[in-house]
Amino acid sequence: MHREYFNLKFTMLKTLISTFRIGYSQKGWTDGKIGAEWIKIFDKQTKHKVKKGEYQLLIVDGHNSHYTIAFLMYARENLILVLCYPAHTTHIYQGLDVVIFAVLKHFLMEERDKWFHTWAQAMDKNNFLAIYSAAHVCALTPENVKSAFKKTGVWPYNPSVITEEMLAPSKATSVQAHLPVPMSDPATDALAIMFRGLASINNAGHDTEDAHNDQASGPSDVNKQCHAVINTAVEVLAQTNLSHLLATTLTTSRRHAHHFAHNHPSYHSKSTSHNPTTNGR
């Protein structure tokens, strides 16, 4: 039964294959070149629906492939008005998002399962077009396309279908960050203090080098400062709900301290060459 079903599907596809066009880019995303070729196909397949000298309306989202010079020049020369959906509103205005994609997803999963049961093959790059094409034919029917235009108020033109509630801004609470650990958590504070302390030691080291201060601390003093900061944080972390991160924090921080001391050899040279008896004049 499934084989007969697919034979019927392929017969239907043969009658439609002349209208299908496939393009690709090296990165796998549509681009300006594909967009410029696509508008030509759009024009060819729709221009017979308008009288000579009349304009067509093409509504698109804000993707940059819709606004290249080649795309817009072709539209202008062929009486195509390009209208862009407002930013961040395609989930309300775009018929594909509102109607078509959900239907297409349903049929794609259905066709995928039928293909697997018939040929014992999972969907992959080799059979994707065959499976998708069958789903495309089922989903993008004239009735569904008209329904998408109607539900979004495009045609028949009906702005009232887009209500104020649909365009309302997000709730006030949604602008607040929701982190796994609240910012007031002692563990978060301890980590923040630790990294600020290490950064302060690092900055102080650079300032000392720039000033050529003969009283600069040696590498042992720098290490002591770093370890003191780390140990303080460790003591706090051990009492918090992030105690399981203790080992990771220790490892990372000690590497930071070692890296700092390793990259400041001038501390060693200054401390060994310093002679307290020659300081005074």
Amino acid at 11: T
Q: How far is 255 from 277, CA to CA, in rounded Å? A: 36
Interacting residues of 75 by C-beta distance below 8 A, sequence separation 6+: 39, 58, 81, 82
Residue 111 has pLDDT above 80, yes or no: yes
Residue 238 has pLDDT above 70, yes or no: yes
The answer to whether 204 and 216 have CB atoms below 8 angstroms apart is no
C-alpha angle with apex 276: 271 to 280, nearest 5 degrees?
130
Residue 28 has pLDDT above 90, yes or no: no
**Token digits of residue 34:** 């594909």
Q: Which letter does DSSP use for residue 185 in this model?
A: -
Alpha-carbon Rg for the chain in angstroms = 33
The answer to whether 214 and 270 have CB atoms below 8 angstroms apart is yes
DSSP codes joined into one string, 241-252: TTGGGHHHHHHH
What pLDDT score does 68 carry?
94
What pLDDT score does 169 carry?
75
Phi-psi region of 120 (alpha: psi -120 to 50; beta: other; left: phi over 0): left
More confident residue, 184 or 117: 117
The band of 222, judged by pLDDT with boundaries at 50, 70 and 90, is: confident
Question: What's the mean pLDDT in 184-212?
Answer: 72
Residue 5 has pLDDT above 60, yes or no: no
List beta partners, residue 83.
59
pTM for the whole structure: 0.55
Cα dihedral 185, 190, 196, 201, rounded to 10, equals 180
What pLDDT score does 272 carry?
43
